[in-house]
Each structure stands twice: as structure tokens, then as C-alpha cells.
Structure 1
Amino acid sequence: MRQKIEKRYPFWRVVIWSAGINILLEFFGLFVIAFVKVPDQTYTVQDVTTVNSLLQFAQGTVFNIIFFYFTLNYFHKLIVQQKQALNYVGYCFLVLVLCAIYFVVSHKCFGTITKNKVPVSTELLIFSTSFVAIILIGLSLLIAYLNSLRDDKKLQKILEIQNLQANYNFLKAQINPHFLHNTLNFFYAKSLPYSEELSEGILTLSEIMRYALSKENAIDGKILLKDEIEHLRNVIKINQLRFSNNLHVIFKVHGAVGEVMMIPFVLITIVENAFKHGDLKNPDYPIDIKLTVVNDSLTFLCRNKKKTGPKELSTGIGLDNTKKRLDMVYATKYTINIIDETDFYTTELIIKKL
């Protein structure tokens, strides 16, 4: 598949620059003709302000706009794609021929603007048009090359900044998890003589943090399902400690999960959503979590009774991000069904091939 190169020079920008430069040069020429006295001068201001001259100026401006728009962008494309010299030579020859044709036709149509029209020989016409065309082509190539160098420097600067930021984030990620983990272990050791429940909570929190921050056991972005299940149990446990074991949660696992792998933090997002919006203190309607693994396929069901009273605002970002991650890894091999009833909320995730 060919790489599509975006146009480096927008059409409107080429129009502004080309037209602006042409107008400035035209005014400069008028100034020279009007105020600078040159011996044997045959030009007058009236000569260069006739309808024929203005049409020639307009035609030249349009030509410059079209010429620079296509040559600048094509040279930029050749530079970006690192084409060989033969590509440049071929394109330059084509442009040279087109420019020569344009200048000859333009000369035949508009002729010269001097009072004393002197016939121009074919050799002189070919030489002059070729010379001007080569200058224009060289100018286009020079502009494209210099801007390419500037773009490369900007990109290099951005990459250096991103690299520094990545290194900083890496160091921060290395320092902070170890610091927090060691601190929690310290608190756990200190709390043991005073409160078994507190020390258990600290240890559970330490395990949750270790799982959330550790990437050592990930293989191709996946972890063992048994580790994800253990993480779920720890999250349930820490929430039970928060609410003095008054939460009613049923979590059942069926099937062999020992060597099965999946992407992390998918199941926990569903469970955390149920904890956030569900009524977990009603013993008649506990949150029901079921995980079943059969022949390398997974079914995860989470059903909870909704809270009564004011509803907590939900952005839905967590589930949306989870769906995007599932799309990237499992594509069409998964389905997620959400049943939003009046009193109950059910989420069912089915992954056909883990």
C-alpha cells in the first residue's frame, strides 16, 4: 500500500505568496520606470499599464501560482519518499518543457511591451525561456529542500521532548510503585499488633496495587485469568472491609482457569461499575457474579440491584474504553450485552476465543 503524502504547501498559501511577490515586483518595476532615468530608455509607465500588459501580468501571476503549487508539493513528496535522482531529473525535464511551451505561447500572444518592437530570434527566445524555467525549477527545489530540513528539525525536537518525557515517566513509574508498595508493607507490619482487620486491609490493598502496577507477567498484553480472578477477589475483599462486611456479594467460578489468558482490567471494570451503582446491602438481592470457562471461551455475568434514591452520575468512560480494548484484541470474537431494567442491571461478556 502506497504511503499517502499530505500536501506540504496549501493552495491558499501559495496564492497569497505568489500574488504578493508578483504585485510587489510590478510596483517596483513601475517605480524604476517612473523615477529612475536610464539612457535610451524605451519603457514608460503608460507602456506597462495598458490592458495588454495587465493581462500579461495576470497571466504570469496565475502561471506562478500553478507552477509553484505543483512543483513545491511534488518536490516535497520526492524528498519525503527519498526518491532517486532520476525521479528529480525526469520531473524537472517535464516541467522545463511545459514552461518553455508556456513562455513561447505567452510571447506569441502578448509580444513585447516596448514602443520600438524588436523581433526576437528563435534561439534567443529558447535560451531566455529555458533560463527562466531553470531558475524557477531550482528555486522550487531549494524552497522544498530547505523547508524539508526545517520540518525534520522540528520533528527531531518533538521526538527528543517525547523521549525525555517517556524516560521521565518510566523513572517515575519505577520509583513510585516500589515506594508505595514498601510503604504499605511497612504499615502492614506496624499494624499487626494493634488490629488484625486493619493489617489485613493494608495487605489486600498492597496486593491490589501490585497487580495494577506490575507488567512483568504480561505476555502480548495478556495475563493469566487466575490472576485477574484473584484481583477481583481482593477488590471485593477491600470493599467488604470498607463497609464492615455488610456487602452481599456472590462470586462463583466454573471451569479450568489455570492456563487461560486474557487482557487485564476488563472484568474488574464491570464489577466496579456494579459496586458503584448497585445496592449491595440488601441480603435478598446480592450482587451475582459468575465466571465460566469452557473450551477456551469465557462467559462473565454480573447482575446487581440498582440503588434507590439519587443516582450517582456516570460518564460511561470505563465501559467505553473496555469495549475499545476488546475490539482491538478480540474483534468479532466477543459480545457484550447490557440489560438495563427498572430495578436491575446486568452485564454479560462472552469471549468465544481467548
Structure 2
Amino acid sequence: MKIPSLLHRRRYSFGRVFWITLAIYLGFTFIGLIGMYVTPQANKAPNWDLVFSWPNLLSKVFSVFFFAFFYFVTLNMFYRLFAGKHRALQFVQPVVMSLLLMGAYYAFSFLCLDKLKYSISTAHPNLEEELTVGLMVFVFFVSSLVITGVSMLLAYFTYLRDERKQRKILEAQKMQLEVEKSQANFNFLKAQINPHFLHNTLNFLYAKSLPYSSELSEGILTLSDIMRYALGPAARDGKVMLKEEIEHVRNVIKINQLRFSNNLNVQFDVNGVVNGATIVPFVLITIVENAFKHGDLKDQDRPIVINLNIEDEAVTFFCRNKKKAGPKEISTGIGLDNIKKQLDLTYGRNYSLQVKDDTEFYTAELTITQL
């Protein structure tokens, strides 16, 4: 999916800006009318002839269309400047233009519309005498500055929100591409191996080894089950049955026990009902293999503890191992990074993977709240 650049897009449509401006204007007008009745000075009713006079209505309509146009232009202008990451000096010209535009509005509104409006009423017969020219200019300038500042802030916060959203989309796309690349590489490797040939070969070796060593034949049979699971097809959604993943974990533990003459201290417990639950393949086994690779497997007082709890649609997988003493194997972290990407794509926010690496123990806990 191609994402349009923030720099080359018109973020605000005139229709949307117009209706929002109209709603705000009507809201302030309604509040003003209410205020005329609730304030202590409200001893007399409003001059309705003035309120509903055609010059006053023309002034209101002109104001709504002007501010809709003003915000439409300035919001899109400031948005493009923020998206282009321009320097502060490059904002001077747009700000000055906005202030001049507001000045023209106030001049026209005061000199033309207000004069026309009050020419039919005695409410303010001498408007020029109530405010000095300097005070009027100051009020108009400050209000213009505030309105322009509001436009800049709205554009800036909208840009920040859009940039954050676009960054998340790009990260998700990048992650998707990496997973697809990994899956393509895995499928290529699988295609190089004929599963039936491999399975038949292992069965042949299993049959031949039976008269000589039950331990060897058991290892070959377990390896056959592991390879069948690893090379087998997944469902369309990329998931496998949870019970198959659990069985795969048991087989990996079993073949490692055979390697070390059943001297490994491993505790694996499954609690809850599995039923037809599914899960992303190789997620649990990657955590277990990491424990076998870096853990002290023969300490009888500190076993590798593996717990899987299933409750409704939630799964919690816990794995803790004592670290090996002496030189450590170099870990690239690729395995955990890959499963994090798979979990992100499949479960989104419905999972958490917490890894704790202290001086003596390594602990990983995976929680999936919605399988």
C-alpha cells in the first residue's frame, strides 16, 4: 500500500472547515444571547430589529464565509510548512500574510458592515467616539495574532498526529515485508527438502536401529516427528493447532534428554483445556530452544521451568532457566526478534512478551490475551 506524502496533500477540505466554522459561530452566538439575559446588566430585551436586520445578518454570513476561507487557506499552508520541516524564518511570510488578511477583514467589517448595521439603529450612534483609533488597531492586531496562532497550533498538532500514524503504518509494512521475506526463505528451504523422502528415510533408519539400540531408535522416531512438524504446512492464517505446538515442545525436550542420557532437569507443565486453540508456529519452541542453548541444564536444584496455562481464549507461557557458568555463547537475538515480529502482526496489542535477564536466571513470559 502506497502512503501519500504529508507534504503533497491537502489536509483540510473547505466543506469540512466551513461546517465546523459555522457550528462554532452558531455556538458562540447562542451563548451570547443567553448571556444577555443572565448578566446583571440584562434589564432590557435585545434589540431584535437590529439582530435580525439584513445588514447584521449579512455581516454574520460574511464572517462565517471569511473565517471558513481563512482557516481553510492557513491550515493547509501551515500544515505543508510543518510537513516540509521548514525553518522558523520561513513561517514569517505566511504569518504576515495571515495578519494582513485578518486586518483587511476587520477594516471591511468595521468600516462597511458595522457602519451599515448601526445606520439603521440608535444603539450605537457614535461608534467612533467609544473607541480610539489606537485602541481599535491594538484590539484588531491582538485578535488577529490569536486567530493566526490558533491556526498554526491546529495545523501543527494535526501534522504530529498524521506523522505518528504514518510512521506506524510504515513500521507495520516494513515488519510485514521482513516476515514475508523470512517466510519465503523458509519456504525455499522446505522446497529443497522432499518431506516424504526425509520421512521415509528416517523410518528406514528407525526400523534398522531397533535390533541394536532402543535409545537410538527412539531418537530417530522423535526426530522424524520434529521434522514432520517443522516441514508440515500451516493453515491459511499462518497458525497451527496449539496441541501440536505443545507436542513439538515435548519432542524437543525429549530429544535433548536423549542427548544427555536423561540427566537434564526440566519441568514442563500444561494447565487448562487446549480444545481447538491455535497459535503462531515455533513461538513457544523458540523460547524453549533459547533456554536449552544458554541454560545450565544439569543443576538438580534449579531446573528449567516451563509452564503453559490456558484459560478461555488466553494463554500464558513461562520459561525460566539458570544461566551457564563460564564463557557464554554469543546470542544474536534473531530468534526472539522474529517471533516478536510474528506476534505483532498476528496479535497486535493482544499479547505481551516480557524478558528478564539478571545475573543468575533468564526468564521469558509470553501472554496472549486473545488467541
Normalised to the residue count of structure 2, the TM-score between the two structures is 0.49
Alpha-carbon distance change, 3 to 244 in structure 1, aligned in 2, over 3 angstroms? closer
User: Which residues in structure 2 correspond to 1:23-62 (within 5 Å)?
Assistant: none
Residue 277 (structure 2) aligns with? 260
| Count of matched residue pairs | 191
User: 305-314 vs 174-183, which deviates more?
Assistant: 174-183
Give ranges in structure 2 of 5+ residues lacking alignment.
Answer: 6-183
Residue 74 (structure 2) aligns with? none
Q: Which amino acid aligns with 1:189?
A: A
Query: For each residue in 1:200-240, what CA deviation from the matched residue of structure 2 results, as whole angstroms up to 9, or x when unmatched?
Result: 0000000000000000x524111110000000000000000
SS of 1:332's partner is coil
Aligned partners of 1:2, 1:197: CA distance in 2, in Å?
Answer: 57
Alpha-carbon distance change, 2 to 347 in structure 1, aligned in 2, over 3 angstroms? closer
Residue 331 (structure 2) aligns with? 314
Q: Which amino acid aligns with 2:222?
A: T
Is the CA contact (8 Å cut-off) linking 1:249 and 1:280 kept in structure 2? yes
User: 172-181 vs 232-241, which deviates more?
Assistant: 172-181
Please point out which of 255, 265, 286 is paired with 1:238: 255
User: Which residues in structure 2 correspond to 1:144-163 (within 5 Å)?
Assistant: none
Q: Which amino acid aligns with 1:309?
A: G
The yes-or-no answer on 1:206 pairing with 2:206 is no
User: Which residues in structure 2 correspond to 1:145-224 (within 5 Å)?
Assistant: 173=191, 176-215=194-233, 218-224=235-241
Alpha-carbon distance change, 173 to 346 in structure 1, aligned in 2, over 3 angstroms? same
Give ranges in structure 1 of 5+ residues lacking alignment.
Answer: 6-165
Structure 1 runs, 4 residues or longer, greater than 6 Å off: 169-172
Residue 12 (structure 1) aligns with? none
Is the CA contact (8 Å cut-off) linking 1:222 and 1:261 kept in structure 2? yes
C-alpha deviation, 1:258, in angstroms: 2.2
C-alpha deviation, 1:176, in angstroms: 2.1
Is the CA contact (8 Å cut-off) linking 2:308 and 2:318 kept in structure 1? yes
Aligned partners of 2:367, 2:190: CA distance in 1, in Å?
Answer: 37
User: Which residues in structure 2 correspond to 1:4-153 (within 5 Å)?
Assistant: none
Q: CA RMSD in A?
A: 2.0
SS of 2:321's partner is strand
Query: For each residue in 1:129-176, what CA deviation from the matched residue of structure 2 results, as whole angstroms up to 9, or x when unmatched?
Result: xxxxxxxxxxxxxxxxxxxxxxxxxxxxxxxxxxxxx9xx77972752
Is the CA contact (8 Å cut-off) linking 2:303 and 2:322 kept in structure 1? yes
Please point out which of 230, 233, 243 is paired with 1:226: 243
Q: Which amino acid aligns with 1:346?
A: T
Aligned partners of 1:171, 1:337: CA distance in 2, in Å?
Answer: 31
The yes-or-no answer on 1:353 pairing with 2:359 is no
Q: Which amino acid aligns with 1:267?
A: L
Query: For each residue in 1:241-282, what CA deviation from the matched residue of structure 2 results, as whole angstroms up to 9, or x when unmatched?
Result: 011111110000000012111110000000000000000101
Normalised to the residue count of structure 1, the TM-score between the two structures is 0.52
